[in-house]
Amino acid sequence: MEDLASIVQTNQLSNTLIPSQLLPATDEVDEYLMATHGKTFHFAARFLSPRLRCHIVTLYAFFRTLDDLVDAPPASRNSNDIRKELADWRLWFTENHVFPAPRESLGMHLAALLDEHRIPTAIFLDFLDGMSTDMDFQEIQDFQGMYRYCYRVAGTVGLAMTHMLGVRSPQALEAAEKLGIGMQLTNILRDVGGDLAAGRIYLPLEDLARFDCSPTHLYQLYREQQGPDERFRALMRYQVARAHRYFVSGMSGVWLLPADCRLPILLAGRLYRRILIEIERKDYDVLRARAATSTPEKIREAAIAFTLDRLWRRGEMFSATVGGVFLED
């Protein structure tokens, strides 16, 4: 555990910010955004090199800024204004960012990142489609619709980050998409109560009917604030099991990433999956509070992820050594 302790000390695994001089491609506003709104990934990203980390911060700032603009717009922005910004971003991407972005500072940092890493434009256009869907929210009919929504708002994030890490293999990209799906499913399950308060249900109507949980029933449970009943628990048990399956598929791709990038992605996946475990531990009561991971749990998951990463590296070194011996023979 001494190696992990040194990494924890070096990377300052807390909510303190990395000094701005270590973030040449971003700024303190973007860093603060991830520290405040993306605590799980902010924690995991501290294991990246400073250069890769600042690029992750920029990507996160773009995705989070637009997500917040749609989900929790400031009083000064109306729906037409927000639609215009989404349209302007779409034009900025399709025109290869040759003119100033709707948010010039963010666009400048993002353009530098895109020029270096050549992330496909289609990924960002799919994300913008997801934001437009959220603005014109309609109840989701089945899991196919739920998957499409999760891909647009989160699978795209996983794909963008994988491309940024220099990985292009079909297996790795498929796993990245699946991991993003698992994370967004977790977000949806964790936020059922908050979404009901906002008048939204992201769970598929097909699944609600399967467990005799109509939208009316869910709203009633939320208003009464007595916690879940057996029908709701059965519904949530089904949804949590599905999310676990996507984590299994998604996290299998971690080992296809460059060696120096595996640990933070593995840790982020484990921390998000830990939220599912917390939902299970609370007997699926997501109506009265959001499930979250504590700092001790984060440290524990960091230790496990660190150990798995080291074991995998040693296995690779052993395979390379044995392979070299066979080649010499």
pLDDT tens sequence across 88-121: 999 999 998 888 899 988 898 899 889 888 899 9
Distance (Å, whole) CA 103 – CA 323: 52
CB 66 within 8 A of CB 97: no
CA distance 241 to 173: 23
Q: What pLDDT, on the 0 to 100 scale, is given for residue 100?
A: 87
Domain ranges of the chain: 14-119, 137-314
Q: Give domain 137-314's CATH architecture.
A: Orthogonal Bundle (1.10)
| Per-residue pLDDT tens over the stretch 16-43 | 333 333 333 445 444 444 444 455 555 5
Average pLDDT, the chain: 83
- Percent of the chain's residues with pLDDT above 90: 53
Question: Quick check: 202 pLDDT over 90?
Answer: yes
- What is the dihedral angle through the alpha carbons of 195, 196, 200, 206, rounded to the nearest 10 degrees? 110
SS3 of the chain: CHHHHHHHHHHCCCCCCCCHHHCCCCCHHHHHHHHHHCHHHHHHHCCCCHHHHHHHHHHHHHHHHHHHHHHCCCCCCCHHHHHHHHHHHHHHHHCCCCCCCCCHHHHHHHHHHHHHHCCCHHHHHHHHHHHHHHHCCCCCCCHHHHHHHHHHHHHHHHHHHHHHCCCCCHHHHHHHHHHHHHHHHHHHHHCHHHHHHCCCCCCCHHHHHHCCCCHHHHHHHHHHCCCCCHHHHHHHHHHHHHHHHHHHHHHHHHHHCCHHHHHHHHHHHHHHHHHHHHHHHCCCCCCCCCCCCCHHHHHHHHHHHHHHHHHHHHHHHHHHHHHHHHHHC
156-160, 218-222, 313-317: range with lowest mean pLDDT:
313-317
User: pLDDT (tens digit, 9 = 90+) per residue, 217-262?
Assistant: 999 999 999 999 999 999 999 999 999 999 999 999 998 988 888 8
For the chain, give the percent of residues with pLDDT over 70: 80
Residue that has been written with the tokens 């296995």 in this structure: 315
pLDDT of residue 309: 85
Q: What's the pLDDT score for residue 24?
A: 38
